[in-house]
Structure 1
Amino acid sequence: MRADQLPYSSLFSGSRATEVNLPFEKSVQLSLERAKAIVQSYAFQIEDVLETPSAALWNMHIDPIMLIDGGAATYASIQVNLTAGTLSEYLKGQPYLRKTIEDILAFRVLAHYCLTEVGHGLDAINMETVALALPEGGFDLHTPSESAAKMMPPTSPIGMPSVAIVFAKLQGDKQNYGIRPFVVPLSDGSKLFHGIRTRVLPMRGGSAPVNHSLTYFNHVKLPQSALLGPMNSLPPGAEAERQNFLAVIWRAATGALALGGMGISALERAAYIAGRYSQHRMIGSVANPSPIIQFRTQHTPVLVALAQAMVSKEFWKFSIRMFTDPSVEHRVKHAYAAVFKATVIHHSQTANLELSERLGARGLFQFSDIVSQYNVVRGISIAEGDILGLCIRLVSELLLGRYSLLPSTNPSSLLARHESGVFSELKDLLKQADHHRGDTFNRFILPQCERMVRAIGHRMAFDAAVSAGLDSRVTDLYLASAMKQDAAWYILGAHLTLTDQYIQEDRAIQAALPYLNEWLEATDVGPYVQNPVLSPQHWQSFVEKLPVHEAPRVRASVDFFPARL
């Protein structure tokens, strides 16, 4: 089945409201079946997941089908990008990996990526899991403490054979080998293999359940072939360990960009749901009702989300070009991925939160999709690189001059001036800091890192949209919405009073408003958002399937309350 046929299939077209009440295990199984259908619909080949991925990998992540079920998206992205993608990097030197990669891409086995630990998330470079090289060959994989348990991967058996890429400190011969990835079979689908133990974590709040787990290894024996890459020792020094770590987890950078792309579909779906709801939701007398879409507070967040989605699509294309350009060094590619993810996911989180509130009481329920989608996007903000951590690392490296990003193609634009102004502020603060790991840096620069990265992202997104010839109504509205995020700077740095900014935003909204319905239709997400709030007909169909409780019928002559004496 083709990917564009999936929303019409029985696997995806069921009742969202019914799914909310599924037992945990059935919900997990449904998400897994959907993930399998998504991955198989793209018919991935090994060539699609190499270091420079094909369009298929990127397209899967911006496919709206991924937002119907956040659990399915989790399984699908781990399967294709993190595990198959990581293994493909070692295929040339270890050709026997081909069968494993093919099984993963065909979804004959479930794949996992075990990197972070209970005690080591952003500082996974300090992980405790150990792989001891044995004198006779092979390795002893061990979890030495509770804080070393691998955190989050859904490794508990759910009916499908599973394999994992497990990261561990490789030790032996008194040499420093750094952190290395190992291929570890986990289960036959019903039971875990000897020495492996998992604990299933409780459900995440508000999103489709995934059997996230804690995973422990008790002196699990691995063959020599389990190690990915050659067993070469590292040069002395922390920098060598850091560079090795970044090299072996490189696929997480691809994931940061790929998962960031899901923010585009999340913007479109949220805008479509809130827009359609607002068009049919009436207020006023029965004789003279008016749709709430007429109010500025109702149509503004819908229009802004639509403009952000259209601009972000051009930003996405630009970011992929930079990320796949062989002339761009790896750490700079990682920087472009970080900027894209931080910017677009922030747009998406803000829009989903506000638009869920525009649905009133119905926005509180998972059947409206937006509130559960918000929680999916929250997960994306942490997965494959926590956004705050990515921003701190990126801004630190830019301020220290370790590399630079492409300058603006519209240097006189307000967003380019804003980016330059914020960067200058941080450079001045850096001059007062004794060290980039010192107290001054911690107190004054770290809290500004996300703001700085979003300033870069807003400028890049605007430049990409202008270069692509996007309608000025779209770019003007995007500009106004971006300025609103740092209004104080534009007062001081661009001499635009708040009133000036309000007027600029009003003009952009007024120009865009006549195109609201056209922009909603252009998203093409209608088949992916069939939920009860879209229309009165959807709502009535939903209500008729709800459980009914009512008093039994009684004869009118019956006394309900006995007379008191």
Structure 2
Amino acid sequence: MTSDTDQRPASASASPAGPDPDPDSADLTRLVYDGTYAGVHEDIRALLFDPIFDHHRDLTLNQAGRLAYRRSRFVHGRLERPADVLRDPRRLFALTEWTTLLDISTFPVLAVHYNLCFGTLIEHSAGREDLADYIEELDSLSSFGPYMATELGYGNNVAALRTEAVYDGRTNTFVLNTPDVPAQKHMPYSGFTDIPKLAVVLARLKSAGQDYGVFPFVVRISGPDGPAEGVRAALCPEKPAMGLDNGLTWFDHIRIPRRSLLTGDMGEFTEDGVFHPSVANPRTRFLRAMSRNQPGRICVSAASVSLGRASVYIALRYALQRVTNAPGRNDMPVIEYRSHQLPLFTALAKVYAMTFLVNRAKREYVDRRGVVDADLNTLISITKALTTWEMSDVAAVCRERCGAQGMFSVNRIADYGIFLQSAVTAEGDSQVLLAATAGRQVARPGGGLAPQAQAQAPDPRGRDIRDPALHLECLRYRVHWLRQAVRKAMDADRREPYFDSWNRNVNNALAMARLEGVAAALECALAAADDARTTAVSQALRSLAALYGLDEIQRDAGWYLARGVLDAAQVEAIPAAADELCETLRPRIPMLINGFQLSPQLLRAPIAADDYMTAYNELTGPGRPDPIEEGAR
């Protein structure tokens, strides 16, 4: 039998041809994909038209999870090898953006395999010829690669994990062991024990009674005949709509070869059982061991905004067709109601702002060749937190505005919302991640995402509340004020334990860090409007930027009013100004969603079709796809 990985054509088959894009939509595509659509995204998008991504009804969670593995093999078999993808991070980010659209479980399988597991192995194996077989096994997808860091009792506190790898110099092996229940690896994809898995496991390196800290190890978890000797894995309780094999994994004194230890450039572990560090600081070594979390956070951000784009695309196409009654008529498209426009157009504004913010994070990561300094770490962390929260809200709004149709998985948005809730937790819980970032930002003199501080309150006199430049000044000033307020409060509390002082100020610090991301996103949105090549695109993007900024200003309108940053008339004018922006944007909606390079044929969501009633009826009638067989891989 020939596997999917053996069928590797030179390029992906073309997607169904559509009409030539108009200049406005083409310009939006250029901006949305940062000028890389044709060279980086298009062939991955084309894969999604294959029947393997067609919707299946009535799958059990087990069947859905196994289908995600089949789809992952399909994608792997038709693109360049993972090692080549890692050489161009733009391809890695694009892979995560597109594959999540039709199966929210395929993205995590691919992202964990390519980035976390295989990426860690590649990053820490330079000059290690003894690892060539492991590299080939994961590069060819002969085995899937889980990543095992989080433990049941420690959650985000990976530095405190308890799994241990104790060196035995007599046999030149490590004994990998789970010492107690809290140390079980929690959530890695280990539950399907009949699928070959070769994992990267984070464990404490111990030798001769000394603990050298946390390092990655390559460990065989399972083969086609079941789990490896000494490995116990059990499926976690089910997650709605996500049928992956998240598991609890226990290592019972299993022997792994010395070569399984990945020290990379962090130091050398000799045969006599001594670790000689080349990086003296244990904290720095730990962060180096987990360095793939940084591109992983960009992957999560990129996938989140991709689902945000698809959510508003589906919801707005449905709103253009769905009719309701109005005074004197009973065939009014629901999109004409201002009460429908405001939440959906604001969601669209958030999607564009977050898209441009993620583009900035991708661009800076690529430009710096993956070297993540303090500024880039701040950008990536704030981007991850802000995008996952914002897109989770976007999916919730879009699902609600689609009424009963929004509840069905086949219309995508409900499943997107479930994924986006999990994205808030993935690659570092967004609130914990933002709190850590905020702490660093408070401690740094200067620092931040904005190119300049806004130490003085803007003068509101004569300013149009719809002006995004005013919004940006307001946001920057509030960031500065919050940073100074937290610093002042913590300086006054120096005699107290640090935790008590920080805990009293953490919410203001979180608000500060979040607003840094908002200001950066608004800057990126305005820069995109300035970069537009057509007047229609420039005007539409500026209106979206204004709506995004206005929505953010309204959140804290009382604060701005109390400090004279805005006057009473401006605050009172915010609702009317938002409605006026919706009226301006209404004719531009088809153009704005066409720039996403989505289509009804790609998404297979009935309510996004040109005739949603016919599409929905055909799906529920004869000829619908049958469930896949239990146990298919």
Which residue number corresponds to residue 276 of structure 1? 317
- Size of the aligned set, in residue pairs, is 536
Which residue number corresponds to residue 8 of structure 1? 49
Which has the larger displacement, 258-267 or 73-82? Answer: 258-267
Instruction: Give the distance between the partners of 2:497 and 2:139, measured in 1 at CA.
Output: 43
1:359 maps to 2:394: no
1:82 maps to 2:116: yes
What is the CA-CA distance between 1:224 and the residue it aligns to?
0.6
Deviations 1:407-461 (A, max 9, x none): 336966333223223323322332333367422321x322334422220111111
Instruction: Give the distance between the partners of 1:546 and 1:450, measured in 2 at CA.
Output: 52
Kept in 2, the 8 Å contact 1:408–1:416? The answer is: no
What is the CA-CA distance between 1:325 and the residue it aligns to?
4.4
Which residue number corresponds to residue 616 of structure 2? 539
Kept in 2, the 8 Å contact 1:177–1:234? The answer is: no
Instruction: Give the distance between the partners of 1:115 and 1:403, measured in 2 at CA.
Output: 34
For 1:516, what is the secondary structure of its paired residue?
helix
Kept in 2, the 8 Å contact 1:178–1:233? The answer is: no
Instruction: Give the distance between the partners of 2:616 and 2:333, measured in 1 at CA.
Output: 16
Instruction: Give the distance between the partners of 2:246 and 2:85, measured in 1 at CA.
Output: 27
1:509 maps to 2:582: yes
Counterpart code for 1:81: N
For 2:557, what is the secondary structure of its paired residue?
helix
1:248 maps to 2:292: no
Counterpart of 1:143 (choices 163, 173, 178) is: 178
For 2:216, what is the secondary structure of its paired residue?
strand
Instruction: Give the distance between the partners of 1:108 and 1:301, measured in 2 at CA.
Output: 46
Counterpart of 2:561 (choices 460, 471, 491) is: 491
Counterpart code for 1:38: V
Counterpart of 1:417 (choices 453, 462, 477) is: 477
Which residue number corresponds to residue 474 of structure 1? 544
Counterpart of 2:433 (choices 375, 383, 390) is: 390
Deviations 1:354-402 (A, max 9, x none): 1111122232332331111111011111111111111111011111127
Which residue number corresponds to residue 376 of structure 1? 419
Deviations 1:15-61 (A, max 9, x none): 4xx1xx212322111111112223344313525325xx532112112
Which residue number corresponds to residue 60 of structure 1? 95
- Distance verdict in 2 for CA 1:365–1:428, change over 3 Å: farther
For 2:226, what is the secondary structure of its paired residue?
coil
Instruction: Give the distance between the partners of 1:227 and 1:462, measured in 2 at CA.
Output: 44
Counterpart of 1:302 (choices 339, 344, 353) is: 344
Which residue number corresponds to residue 319 of structure 1? 361
Higher relative contact order (CA 8 A, sep 6+): 2
Which residue number corresponds to residue 201 of structure 2? 166
What is the CA-CA distance between 1:106 and the residue it aligns to?
3.1
- Distance verdict in 2 for CA 1:446–1:187, change over 3 Å: same
1:30 maps to 2:67: yes
User: Under a length normalisation based on structure 1, what TM-score does the superposition of the two structures give?
Assistant: 0.88
Counterpart code for 1:456: E
- Distance verdict in 2 for CA 1:392–1:337, change over 3 Å: same
For 1:533, what is the secondary structure of its paired residue?
helix
Which residue number corresponds to residue 179 of structure 1? 214
- Distance verdict in 2 for CA 1:209–1:108, change over 3 Å: same
For 1:507, what is the secondary structure of its paired residue?
helix
Instruction: Give the distance between the partners of 2:390 and 2:137, measured in 1 at CA.
Output: 36
Counterpart code for 2:292: R
- Distance verdict in 2 for CA 1:428–1:546, change over 3 Å: farther
Kept in 2, the 8 Å contact 1:271–1:302? The answer is: yes
Deviations 1:293-313 (A, max 9, x none): 111221222222222222323
Counterpart code for 1:489: W
- Distance verdict in 2 for CA 1:488–1:96, change over 3 Å: farther
- Distance verdict in 2 for CA 1:410–1:506, change over 3 Å: farther
- Distance verdict in 2 for CA 1:279–1:407, change over 3 Å: closer
- Distance verdict in 2 for CA 1:10–1:48, change over 3 Å: closer
Counterpart code for 2:180: S
Deviations 1:125-157 (A, max 9, x none): 111111111122210000011111000011123
Q: Which runs of 5+ in 1 are unaligned?
A: 548-565
For 2:428, what is the secondary structure of its paired residue?
coil
- Distance verdict in 2 for CA 1:304–1:70, change over 3 Å: same
User: Under a length normalisation based on structure 2, what TM-score does the superposition of the two structures give?
Assistant: 0.79
Counterpart code for 1:458: V
Q: Which runs of 5+ in 2 are unaligned?
A: 1-11, 13-42, 455-471, 533-537, 625-633
What is the CA-CA distance between 1:184 and the residue it aligns to?
0.2
For 1:284, what is the secondary structure of its paired residue?
strand
Kept in 1, the 8 Å contact 2:193–2:226? The answer is: no
Which residue number corresponds to residue 501 of structure 2? 440
Deviations 1:250-293 (A, max 9, x none): 11121111111112111111101111221222112897411111
